[in-house]
Amino acid sequence: MKTLFELFQSLGLAERMLAYVLIAPFIGGVLAGIDRKLTARLQGRFGPPILQPFFDVFKLFQKERIVVNKFQNFNIILFFVFTVFSGALFFCGADILLMIFGLATAGTFFVLAGYSVSSPYSHLGAEREIIQMVSYEPMVILVAVGMYMVTGSFKVADIAMYQKPLILALPGVFAGFLYILTIKFRKSPFDLSISHHAHQEIVRGLTTEFSGPALALIEISHWYENVLLLGIVYLFFAFNPWLGIVLTIAAYLFEIFIDNNYSRFKWQLTFLSSWLFTAVAGVSNIIVLHLIK
């Protein structure tokens, strides 16, 4: 493990970015497969193979391209590019604020893609995606602010090198981040815009009009995004790499558990509860941190 970390640190900026671009989809796809298998086991089913998400994506690339509006795939490609860009920034140790804004830009292009087609179901999904973005964005900013207040740097590389446990200074921020992580992973109480489960979806939400390769690209972007978000979870426990990896996996399993225990919330409850949780856990943590210093 230690040699692995030393190897990663010995890499240059471009090599680290390349490593993320090449390795992240594999990790993200396997995580998605584990998610589906575990969900099936929790429901008493046998479940698909672990590599099922890869099969789905390969199949989608073989399907016919149907384009309703010529800008729809343009927006999806930009969504993909900005997600990969912000992930690459994170894993090469760049500024966490720039990474967060890159991710927000990716989300914006995803919403624009939903609006670019004429289907009312897609528009409804896009509107709900905006509500979700408004719900989680304050907490994501607070994560960056909290990490800066403790470590004195916005650089991911410096935060990861911080020797004291970040989680002890930022328990509230971490709890708040775990709460909005459910929205970012598109898990069940908050899967308003796109659900993986057809039975609780209005046709298919935002992705209604996307088929074949475009849908595959959306799926791959989600894998990149998931790896990036788990990377942020890891930062809270970066003082001990082993503990960090174990707890990051635990956070992911926790999200799967939550996914299986809740049905979908209304958008009002999603919005109110996430802002309330952000205020109570996140903001109060920041205030206490400010008073202690």
Partner 1 sequence: MAWFKRSPWVLHYNATSCNGCDIEVIACLTPLYDLERFGIINTGNPKHSDILLVTGSVNEKSKHVLKTLYEQMPNPRVVVAVGICACTGCVFQDCYNVLGGADKVVPVDVYVPGCAARPESIIDGVLKACGILEEKYAQQKNTQQQPIKA
Q: Which residues would be at the binding site for partner 1 (CB under 8 A)?
A: 36, 40, 43-49, 52, 55-56, 58-59, 62-66, 198-199, 201, 203-204, 207-212, 215
Which SS3 state, helix, strand or coil, does residue 162 take? coil
Minimum CB distance to partner 1 smaller for 90 or for 210: 210
Q: What is the smallest separation between the CB atom of 77 and partner 1, expressed in angstroms?
A: 18
Q: How many Å apart are CA 235 and CA 43, to the nearest integer?
A: 32
Residues 8, 226 contacting (CB under 8 angstroms): no
Nearer to partner 1, 63 or 164 (CB): 63
- Please give the span between the terminal C-alpha atoms of the chain, in angstroms, as a whole number: 35
Q: Which residues contact 67 (CB under 8 A, 6 or more apart)?
A: 73
Is the CB of 1 or the CB of 198 nearer to partner 1? Answer: 198
Residue 212 DSSP class: T
Please choose, from the candidates 145, 101, 104, the residue with its C-alpha nearest in 3D space to the C-alpha of residue 282: 145
Residue whose CB is less far from partner 1, 47 or 165: 47
User: Smallest distance from the beta carbon of 126 to partner 1, in angstroms?
Assistant: 16
Task: Say how far apart CA 160 and CA 94 lie, in whole Å.
Answer: 11
- Dist. CA 284–CA 34, nearest whole Å: 35
Q: Considering only CA atoms, which of 144, 222, 136, 130 is closest in space to residue 180?
A: 136
- Please list the residues that pair with 95 across neighbouring strands: 155
**Minimum gap (Å) between residue 119 Cβ and partner 1:** 9
Query: Least distance in Å: CB of 182 to partner 1?
Result: 22
Please say whether the beta carbons of 263 and 197 come within 8 A: no
Least Å from the CB of residue 138 to partner 1: 32
- Which C-beta is closer to partner 1: that of 56 or that of 255? 56
- Closer to partner 1 at the Cβ: 39 or 132? 39
Using the minimum distance from each CB to partner 1, give the nearer residue, 49 or 120.
49
Work out how close the CB of 101 gets to partner 1 at its nearest, in angstroms, rounded to a whole number: 31
CB of 216 to partner 1, least distance (A): 11
Beta bridge partners of 155: 95
Structure tokens at 262: 């809740």
